[in-house]
Amino acid sequence: MSNIGSYDERVNNFNWDIAEKELDFKPGNMINIGWYCSDRICRMGKSGKTALIWEGSAGNEKRYTYDDLRLNSNTIGHFLRSLGIMPGERVCLFMDKIPELYIGFLGILKMGAIAQPLFSAFGDESLFVRLDNAQTTAIITQKKHAPKVRKIMDKMPYLKHMIIVDADPGKPLPEREVAFDMERAEKIDRFELHPTYAETASVLHYTSGTTGQPKGVKHVHYSLISQYLTAKWVLDLQESDIYWCTADPGWVTGTSYGIMGAFSNGVTQCVLDAGFSADNWYRFIEKHKVSMWYSAPTAIRSLMKAGDEVIKKYDLSTLRHLASVGEPLNSEAVIWSEKVFGKPFLDTYWQTETGSIMITNFPGMKIKPGSMGKPFPGITATVIDAETFEPFAEPGKIGLIAIRPGWPSMMRTYWNNETTYQNKFRNGWYLPGDRSSIDKEGYFWFVGRDDDVINTGGHLVSPFEVESALLEHPAVAESAVVAKPDFVNMEVVKAFVTLKPGFTGSKDLDLDIMNFVRKKLSPLAMPQEIEFIDNLPKTRSGKIMRRILHAKEWGEEIGDTSTLEND
């Protein structure tokens, strides 16, 4: 029996106080995510239960019980406090998927600071933009990533501490750097939590939009109510489960469901801190007897590409429930997973800003492959006309996804950018920026984004960020960046470039530009292709029309070009 039981009954009788009661939370009381994810599970008599099984790229393994989570997060919280870091300050986590990342996240929250996780593959420039926007006070990192921080340290007088979790013992560190060894540190058994309340800021995740720099999405401790209940009802986490969320906590799935949803439900989860290969993933599932697997369409398509033979080498019979997030999950992937694993991947739709799953296929519900399913109980979601902002009267029409604000894990603002936050609302609806239709039975069918943001392998890339990097190259006059179709990543980044007088497009120049932007962009945002072109399509007012280039790449109708400059 799944945790949600009957979807219709849950929808009809829903109230968020279901989660509040299960978590013994009363409005007005303190709520601290770090405590809920460790101390509370211990108090429930599960201090000896394994919370985290970690495996490194060499196959080395570490295990932590819930009591280890409690003690180590206390210890990190205490250490941060002893450095003079104050509640409300931003502490960045800039690490691979090592245990210190998961436990450090809880420690930061316990002492009342705001956790700012950033993907460890970011280069120094991507890192700087995000730290500068948040005016981050401290960064917790590994020796191997420290040089990237050192490169920008001078530009960041507000960054008082770089904490290195694997520093060489005895080796002196430069000013503002300090070593912290979680395993060796004296454990703090009793830690005085900072009194955090429902609206106290908890997490700051950076996400890319079409224009401007990445935006810091601010979440609060009350978000746990959503993360706990959606993890329980959608991911169907159960006492005996071994759960594997493949996402990196540099991104929201890795925190909402790789930390908060998982540990607040007291489940055992495993983490693989190694690159992707089909063999290695299947071996990992077999070895750890994974039963609940939350992954992403690009990974699923990569597994499909690796073929069905490799699956036969492993015993994957422990898999009980599979779900996916981040990009459109095509029907072929759902049908394939049913064939090879005996279970369909259930699609879940949400975003950094929503903090938790909004629209999804539920365990036990009729699955329509290719559909995102239905709104989570308590979530009022629909599709509205892009001009009137009113819901359509009849099913099947394509419009903007619209959600009534008010669920616990909704972002509270964009950091220092309230205007952009307010712009996400129309007519009382929150607009995530995606297009969809709804069929007669209330199932949502994703159509695409409503802006120029590129979703490559589940990661949002701002065309603006890539174009800005290209424009810094001495040969580049103008650039326009759009998505190009790709079997595995669904979309990849393609750049169109016009050159300054005296330059001609060539293989060498292509390589030179690629090498130039590689230093500025995260590997995820790198263009897969540069096309040199004489003129970019522009409106009469001189705005580059990415839409035309996009349509060409996808073999689509170009649509209305009446505002084009060179008609």
Which spans of this chain sit near ligand PRX (rule: CB under 6 A)? Answer: 207, 251-253, 325-329, 347-352, 372, 432-434, 446, 449, 455, 460
Q: Backbone dihedral region of 502: left (phi > 0), alpha (psi from -120 to 50 degrees) or beta?
A: left
Q: Which residue, 156 or 372, is less far from ligand PRX as judged by CB?
A: 372
Phi, psi of 60 (to 5 degrees): -70, 150
For ligand PRX, the closer CB: 101 or 153 = 101
Do 231 and 261 form a contact (C-beta atoms < 8 A)? yes
Nearer to ligand PRX, 252 or 403 (CB): 252
The distance of Cα 172 from the centroid of its chain, to the nearest Å, equals: 36
Cα separations in angstroms, 285 against 50, 111, 238, 295, 539: 17, 35, 17, 13, 52
Residue closer to ligand PRX (CB basis): 261 or 432: 432
Half-sphere exposure of residue 196: CA atoms within 13 angstroms, side-chain side: 31
Question: Which of 269, 315, 316, 314 is closest to 294 using CA atoms?
Answer: 269
- C-beta closer to ligand PRX: residue 338 or 478: 338
Smallest distance, ligand PRX to C-beta of residue 415, A: 15
Nearest to 154 by CA among 123, 176, 130, 178: 176
One-letter amino acid at 480 equals A
Largest Cα–Cα distance in the chain? 73
Closer by beta carbon to ligand PRX, 137 or else 302:
302
CB of 8 to ligand PRX, least distance (A): 22
Instruction: Report, in Å, the least distance between residue 382 CB and ligand PRX.
Output: 16
Q: Would you say 162 or 245 has its CB closer to ligand PRX?
A: 245
For residue 83 the two structure tokens come to: 């450095």
DSSP character at residue 137: S
Residue count of the chain, please give it.
567
In the bound complex, what is the minimum distance in angstroms from residue 409's beta carbon to ligand PRX?
11
- For 210, half-sphere exposure in the C-beta direction (CA atoms, 13 angstrom radius) is 15
**CA 382 to each of CA 17, 154, 251, 284, 310: distance values in angstroms, whole numbers, following the listed order:** 23, 48, 26, 39, 41
Minimum CB distance to ligand PRX, residue 247 (Å): 8
Instruction: Report the distance separating Cα 268 and Cα 1, nearest Å.
Output: 20
Q: CB-side exposure of 305: number of CA atoms within 13 Å?
A: 12
Closer residue to ligand PRX, CB minimum distance, 266 or 377: 377
Which residue number, 35 or 251, has a Cβ lying nearer to ligand PRX?
251
What 3-state DSSP class applies to 543? coil
Closer CB to ligand PRX, 362 or 446, in the complex: 446
> Smallest gap, in angstroms, from Cβ of residue 359 to ligand PRX?
8
How many whole angstroms separate alpha carbon 506 and alpha carbon 510? 6
Residues 6+ apart with CB under 8 A from 210: 451, 452, 453, 462, 463, 464
Measured from the CB of residue 298, what is the shortest distance to ligand PRX in angstroms? 12
**Considering Cα of 557, then 561, then 565, then 567, what sign does the dihedral take?**
positive
User: Judged by CB, which is closer to ligand PRX: 127, or 359?
Assistant: 359
Name the 3-class secondary structure at 179. Answer: strand
Q: How far is the CB of 458 from ligand PRX (least distance, A)?
A: 6
Residue 178 C-beta: closest distance to ligand PRX, Å: 32
| E strand map for 84-149 | 90-94, 114-117, 138-141
Name 531's bridge partners.
496
Q: Residue 186 has what DSSP assignment? A: P
For the chain, helix (H) and strand (E) counts, in that order, are 19, 28
CB of 93 to ligand PRX, least distance (A): 17
Q: Shortest Cβ distance from residue 324 to ligand PRX (Å)?
A: 7
Question: Cβ closer to ligand PRX: 92 or 325?
Answer: 325
The minimum distance between CB 32 and ligand PRX, in angstroms, equals: 24
Distance CA 248, CA 261 (A): 14
C-beta closer to ligand PRX: residue 200 or 253:
253
Least separation in angstroms between CB 261 and ligand PRX? 12
> What 3-state DSSP class applies to 268?
strand
Q: Distance between CA 196 and CA 142 in Å, rounded? A: 28
Could you tell me if 374 and 366 are in contact, meaning their C-beta atoms sit under 8 angstroms apart?
Answer: no
Residue 343 or 449: the one with the smaller Cβ distance to ligand PRX is 449
